[in-house]
Structure 1
């Protein structure tokens, strides 16, 4: 997509695409991509892409298991949470994952908050405890 519109604190779509390309070269992402492809899920060039978005969001999932993504990405590590202003010491990681899943799901106009919460709670234990292909959450 060759847009030069400004998104997410001044980043252009092209700058975001460049960040995606660099991210795909990191050891953890290469490891995940390798294991996804071994399990039959081919990761094409447009699997992760930047698009211009009029809403004030920094990302979302078109489909998939947001609980695993939040848990395994490291984005809910306590240091990142402290930088965001969340000072809770115990249970911060699960609370962060739940908050981020709900935020991601709120972008779907066909899914109410209560339906989103019910869906998340229904699959929480299975998805949160599934750390494959890692031995444990990174």
Structure 2
């Protein structure tokens, strides 16, 4: 595929993803709940806070304080509304954690690990069917195994945290952060 065709395809995927973001913001109850929770916590976000883009980092999305949330249209697994909803929820949990913790330091592996544990646990990221699609067929404590694995993977992507530091940080924060379901009453 030549570069012009690839660029046109990337633009199309980005536009489709941006429309899905808008749909999530208007119609997805969990995304709406998280935006309301951010507003109640003193950190309201507008639609400009959310964007679809091509990312160099291999991730479905990302949160950057004072910048916003990006959905990586070039790294989505299925490019479905459900996937965009789940990634937005995951990233909104990071935004919520950043808002409610005045001293959250994303370069601190334990701080990052806690937010990743919470996001994997509360976003729907570890639903059984998604795990099956990823090739993980663990039956026993599937949800906890997934949350731990996904949190470690995300923290290890932090340039301030090695794989070993990521595992250590997830282990150190697990009990407290896995139980923390705020702003939800329980795991959705």
Question: Normalising by structure 1, what TM-score?
Answer: 0.80
Deviations 1:9-41 (A, max 9, x none): xx6222222221111221121112112211112
> Taking structure 1 as reference, are residues 5 and 56 closer, same or farther at Cα in structure 2, changes over 3 Å only?
farther
Larger helix share, 1 or 2? 2
> Taking structure 1 as reference, are residues 134 and 20 closer, same or farther at Cα in structure 2, changes over 3 Å only?
same
- Pair 1:15-2:19 in alignment: no
Contact 1:36 1:42 in 2 (8 A): yes
Match of residue 34 from structure 1: 36
Structure 1 segments of 4+ aligned residues over 4 angstroms from their partners: none
1:92 to partner: Cα distance? 1.0
1:61 to partner: Cα distance? 4.2
SS at match of 2:31: helix
Where do 1:60-99 residues align within 5 Å? 60-62=62-64, 64=94, 65-99=115-149
RMSD: 2.4
> Taking structure 1 as reference, are residues 44 and 121 closer, same or farther at Cα in structure 2, changes over 3 Å only?
farther
Distance 1:48 1:101 in 2: 22
1:103 to partner: Cα distance? 2.1
> Taking structure 1 as reference, are residues 55 and 31 closer, same or farther at Cα in structure 2, changes over 3 Å only?
closer
- Pair 1:123-2:173 in alignment: yes
How many aligned positions are there? Answer: 133
Gaps of 5+ in 1: none
Contact 1:5 1:52 in 2 (8 A): no
Gaps of 5+ in 2: 1-6, 66-93, 95-114
Q: Could you say which structure has the greater relative contact order, defined with CA pairs below 8 angstroms and 6 or more residues apart?
A: 1
Distance 1:55 1:38 in 2: 32
